[in-house]
Amino acid sequence: QVQLVESGGGLVQAGGSLRLSCAASVSRVSINSMGWYRQAPGKQRELVAAITSGGSTTYTDSVKGRFTISRDNAKTTVYLEMNNLKAEDTAVYYCWATTWYDYWGQGTQVTVSS
């Protein structure tokens, strides 16, 4: 069983930065990949960034060069450093982790004002 708790969302002006954190509580399983999805109003949920247990990362094209995903040594906490934020980054951001199953956090709102 995995529980995910997110923090770090908020309101920021365009060009600003935010850092999201997601801590996983795990029991009897090992987490494979972790990452962040986002969902803007009226749009489908999309993958923003992901990181494997081995440290390989992937990003959606629109955030490359601006966002950085990382993971702690225990591999139970994932971070998303978001720089040069744009209005189109406004969304609810969801933490995601996978073992044999997918697990989701409750979501944290990120609002970028232009």
Which pLDDT band holds residue 85 (cuts at 50, 70, 90)?
A: very high
Enter the tokens of residue 69.
């995903």
- Supply the pLDDT for residue 21: 98
Enter the tokens of residue 88.
């189109």
Q: What percentage of residues in the chain have a pLDDT greater than 70?
A: 100
Q: What percentage of residues in the chain have a pLDDT greater than 90?
A: 88
Say whether pLDDT at 108 is over 80.
yes
- Supply the pLDDT for residue 73: 79
Enter the tokens of residue 52.
């494997």
- Mean pLDDT, rounded, of the chain: 95
User: DSSP letter string over 33-85?
Assistant: -EEEEEE-TTS--EEEEEE-TT--EEE-GGGTTTEEEEE-TTS-EEEEEE-S-
Residue whose token pair is 């989701």: 104
pLDDT per position as a tens digit, 4-49: 999 999 999 999 999 999 999 987 788 999 999 999 999 999 999 9
In angstroms, rounded to a whole number, what is the distance separating the alpha carbons of residues 87 and 28? 40
In angstroms, rounded to a whole number, what is the distance separating the alpha carbons of residues 112 and 114? 7
- Supply the pLDDT for residue 28: 77
- Supply the pLDDT for residue 75: 79
